[in-house]
Amino acid sequence: MTLGVQIAIDGPASAGKSTVAKLVAKQLRYTYCDTGAMYRALTLAAMCQKVTLNDEAAVLRVLKQITISFKPGEPEQQVFIDQQEVTEAIRQPDVTNNVSTVAALAGVRRQLVQHQQAIAAKGNIVMDGRDIGTAVLPQAAVKIFLVASVAERAQRRYTENLRKGINTPLAVLQTEIEVRDKKDSTRAISPLTQAKDAVLVDTTALSIEQVVAKIITIVAEKQKDQNK
């Protein structure tokens, strides 16, 4: 079976991964897959069932009971747990602050990675997360590691929150981002790290449009090299 073209976009929290990945997918007419939404949906389901979040067996029982799915939508793709739409609910601060605990569980990662690989096997894909280039799609044709200064990332999240009517102080957001990045980068299984063959893109001073254009250029260059 020939695989489609795979574009892996990884990086720390609020670097712009999902915004940019979705636009790149739209421009190239590829499928977009937000893997963070899967970890978030499972975290929400586990929290609703009042499960201890570092209890792997209990969280895996929750995962077994639910189906996490996506529907394309504007401005965001919709996320569902079974028939219930949870697009907004999975972005609430309490889910954000707990998701890294659930994402550190080995069994959870095994199952969600399988789900992600099955989605990618269907055709051309842009997938974003933390371990896409290193673990989920190690053969991806293009790997991007998206970064920005922590101050810029906190400011972006702050502005986004204000649009949604959430008013968490900037300093609190910055600390939350730092704590989550540390947990994601230091966990035992598939920690957040730049794949050896990933291209580092620093977006601190770049607009969304500039980042999208940069990635499209990187993709075109890689494809030209492969066709030589």
Q: Which residues are annotated as a binding site?
A: 11-19
The minimum distance between CB 36 and ligand CDP, in angstroms, equals 2
The minimum distance between CB 49 and ligand CDP, in angstroms, equals 19
Six token digits for residue 123: 């055709």
Cβ atoms of 175 and 97 within 8 Å: the answer is no
CA 167 to CA 170: how far, in whole Å? Answer: 9
CA 57 to CA 60: how far, in whole Å? Answer: 5
- Polymer length of the chain: 228
Nearer to ligand CDP, 35 or 219 (CB): 35
- Which whole-number Å values give the CA distances from 104 to 54, 73, 133, in the listed order? 8, 29, 17
Amino acid letter, residue 2:
T
Nearer to ligand CDP, 171 or 223 (CB): 171
Give every CB contact of residue 41 below 8 A, 6+ residues apart in sequence: 66, 68, 79, 81, 86, 90
Nearer to ligand CDP, 94 or 223 (CB): 94
The minimum distance between CB 117 and ligand CDP, in angstroms, equals 12
Nearer to ligand CDP, 16 or 25 (CB): 16
CA 123 to CA 117: how far, in whole Å? Answer: 11
Cβ atoms of 133 and 195 within 8 Å: the answer is yes
The minimum distance between CB 224 and ligand CDP, in angstroms, equals 25
Angle between helices 208-227 and 17-28 (to 10 degrees): 50
- Which residues are near ligand CDP by CB under 6 A? 11, 13-20, 35-36, 39-40, 99-100, 103, 129-132, 156-157, 160, 180, 184, 203, 206-208, 211
Nearer to ligand CDP, 28 or 112 (CB): 112
The minimum distance between CB 93 and ligand CDP, in angstroms, equals 11
Residues of the binding site for ATP? 11-19
Q: Is the dihedral of CA 174, 178, 184, 187 positive or negative?
A: negative
The minimum distance between CB 44 and ligand CDP, in angstroms, equals 11
Six token digits for residue 216: 């499209």
Nearer to ligand CDP, 200 or 223 (CB): 200
